[in-house]
Amino acid sequence: MDTPPTGSFRRDPNAALAANPVGIVPFGWDRIPSDLPELARLGFEGIQVDGGEAAMWVEALTDHSLRAAEVYLAIPCDADGPTAEAHDVVETRLAYAVDVGTENLVLAVDGGPIRDAVTGHATGGPSFTDDGWERLGGLVEEMHTVGTDAGLVVSFHPHAGTWVETPAEIDRLFSMSSRLDLCLDTGHHLVGGGDPATTIAEYGDRLRHVHLKDVDPRVLGRLRDGNLSGFTEATGARIFCPLGSGVLDLPGVVATLERIGYQGWLMVEQDTMWEPTVESAAISRRILEWVCSPRR
């Protein structure tokens, strides 16, 4: 008789990305240790840690054999780049990431009404000033150095509804620093007008972290047609959906990650959902396992 798998999934050593750890960004969950047994049961190996005392998380994650896969840091920005409070936010969050023992520090810029309103069709819309780009580039370069020295993998996450969303904006930021690495969120990249598999191939040697997220085509169409006022209203309409049920070419993404030899985390994420959180997480986890599995 076969040995029962631990959790809900048995990793097939012949599967695509078999050695890559699978984590979750638990939107919709309480993000407290009481959820950890369920996440472990579903076959997740790590979690984005966000809030709560670092010592509490270290103990709770150890108890459930889970890892602190990432800490997310949204840099306060306006059109002129990082705001006056940005350095204080960065320093506090970096210290938290070190204390909680995370492996990845994921940088982004925060959103706001100006960019929220043009999400999904932001090309040619309001953007950073030239000075704003330079100030952001300098700060993320500094964060990469400081974070790396602290033992963290530091990457930048382009995000819908923020000042760095479109493929052109990604290219501009990354052209400013040869050391900056990428965290690609497939869902936000689709909303921003990008093709995830193409960008993975283009940025292969700089790709350090991946958020796997799918997009509902009907809601995306309403956003691009102007029938939704922006990203906030689109999230209320549940623009993100379980893996395999939207427009994301998940097989293409997996194949490209395998081809470039990607070795980082696969973070399942669904910012918005109609289903109960545990159901959405289970669907996405099983779909990912099926797509990665070798065809018999």
Task: Enumerate residues 6+ apart whose C-beta is below 8 A from 75.
Answer: 82, 86, 89, 90, 107, 108, 109, 110, 136, 139, 140
Across 120-124, average pLDDT: 89
Confidence check: pLDDT of 173 > 80: yes
pLDDT at residue 29, rounded to an integer:
67
Alpha carbon separation from 295 to 12, 45, 96, 244, 277 (Å, rounded): 11, 24, 42, 17, 29
| pLDDT band of 31, cuts 50, 70, 90 | low
Per the model's pLDDT, the better-predicted residue between 125 and 109 turns out to be 109
Across 191-197, average pLDDT: 98
Confidence check: pLDDT of 23 > 70: yes
Confidence check: pLDDT of 63 > 50: yes
Residue 211: strand pairing partners:
185, 267
Angle, CA of 69, 73 and 79, to the nearest 5°: 150
Helix then strand then coil, in percent of the chain rounded to 5, is: 40, 15, 40
C-alpha–C-alpha distance, residues 77 and 140, integer Å? 12
The token pair that represents 236 in the structure block: 């209320």
The token pair that represents 214 in the structure block: 């799918």
For the chain, which domains are there?
A: 22-292 (3.20.20.150)
Range of lowest pLDDT (21-30, 179-188, 195-204, 240-249): 21-30
Task: Enumerate residues 6+ apart whose C-beta is below 8 A from 143.
Answer: 73, 90, 94, 105, 107, 154
Nearest Cα residue to 165 out of 217, 233, 116: 116
For the chain, state the CA radius of gyration. Answer: 18
Per-residue pLDDT of 253-291, as tens digits, reads 999 999 999 999 999 999 888 888 889 999 999 999 999
Instruction: Give me the chain's average pLDDT, please.
Output: 92
pLDDT at residue 10, rounded to an integer:
61
Percent residues over pLDDT 70 in the chain: 94
**pTM score over 0.75:** yes
C-alpha–C-alpha distance, residues 161 and 117, integer Å? 8
| pLDDT band of 155, cuts 50, 70, 90 | very high
Per the model's pLDDT, the better-predicted residue between 35 and 155 turns out to be 155
pLDDT at residue 1, rounded to an integer:
40
pLDDT at residue 278, rounded to an integer:
87
Nearest Cα residue to 158 out of 219, 96, 94, 111: 111
**Are 157 and 106 in contact, with CB atoms under 8 Å apart?**
yes
pLDDT at residue 52, rounded to an integer:
84
